[in-house]
Amino acid sequence: MQAPTTLRWRVLRASVFAVLATLLAALAHGSGGGHPPDPAVLLSVALLVGGTVSGLADRRRNGLEITAMLAGSQLVFHLLFQVTSHGPDHPDLPRMVAFHLIAALASAWLMTAGERTLFQLFAALYRVLASARSTRQVWLAPSWTAFIGHRPGPGSGARLAASVSRRGPPTRA
C-alpha cells in the first residue's frame, strides 16, 4: 500500500477531479456572462471527464500536469456549455476566458494540494506499517515451568526451617 493507485482509488480521485472541475467551470461560465448550464449537461460532462481522467490517475501527477488537464477541461466545458445553452448567448469573450482561466488555476491549486496530501498520507501510513512489521516481537514461553507436585505435609515446613541457618555474616558459596 504505497500509493493510492488501485482501481478504487483511481475512480475516487477521478471523481473528485471531475466534480471539482465541472462545478468550477459552471461557476466560471456563469460569472463570465454565459447562461448557467443545464444540470443534465453538468452531470453528463462530469461523467465524461471522470471517465477520461480515471485513466490518468495511475500515478501521482505534478502541478503542471494537473494544470494542463484542467485548462483543457475548461476549454471543453466552455464549448459544451456554449453549444448546449438555451437562448441567445453573446458573452464578453475576454471576461469569459478570464473566469475560465481563474477556475482552471483555482482548481489546479486545490487538486495539486489534495494530490500531494493524499500521497504524503499514504507514504506516512506505509512507513508506519512497515516499521510495525519489521519490529515484531516474538513471545516465547519461559524455559522454566513451575512444578506443583504434592503438598508438603505438616512437618516438612519445620524441617526446612531447621535446615536453613541465617545467623552470622554471609559466607561465600
**How many angstroms separate the CA atoms of 126 and 132, rounded?**
10
pLDDT at 37: 83
The residue assigned the cell 504434592 is 150
Residue 146 lies in a domain: no
Domain assignment present for residue 103? The answer is: yes
Query: Exposed/middle/buried for 6, CB within 10 Å: 0-12, 13-18, 19+?
Result: exposed
Q: Examine residue 21 and state whether it is found in any structural domain, yes or no.
A: yes
| pLDDT score of 141 | 64
pLDDT higher at 160 or 124? 124
The structure's pTM equals 0.63
DSSP letter for 59, please.
Answer: S
pLDDT of residue 36: 81
Nearest in space to 66 (alpha carbons), one of 120, 123, 25, 14: 14
Is residue 158's pLDDT more than 70?
no
Our count of domains for the chain comes to 1
pLDDT (tens digit per residue) in 18-69: 888 888 888 888 888 888 888 888 888 888 888 877 777 788 888 898 888 8
Q: Supply the pLDDT for residue 128.
A: 86
169: how many CB neighbours lie within 10 A of its CB? 4
72 domain-assigned:
yes
pLDDT of residue 147: 58
H/E element holding 121? Answer: helix 93-134
pLDDT tens figures, 99-152: 888 888 888 898 899 889 988 998 898 888 887 776 666 666 666 666 565 555
Q: Look at residue 148 and tell me if it is in a domain.
A: no
Q: Is residue 52 part of a domain?
A: yes
Confidence (pLDDT) at 143? 66
Query: What domain range is 102 assigned to?
Result: 7-134
* 128 occurs within a structural domain: yes
Please name which of 49, 42, 54 lies closest in space to residue 12, comparing C-alpha atoms.
54
Domain presence at residue 70: yes
Q: What's the CA gap between 15 and 152, in Å, rounded?
A: 77
- Residue 78 near residue 96, CB atoms below 8 Å: yes
Please tell me the predicted confidence (pLDDT) of residue 66: 87
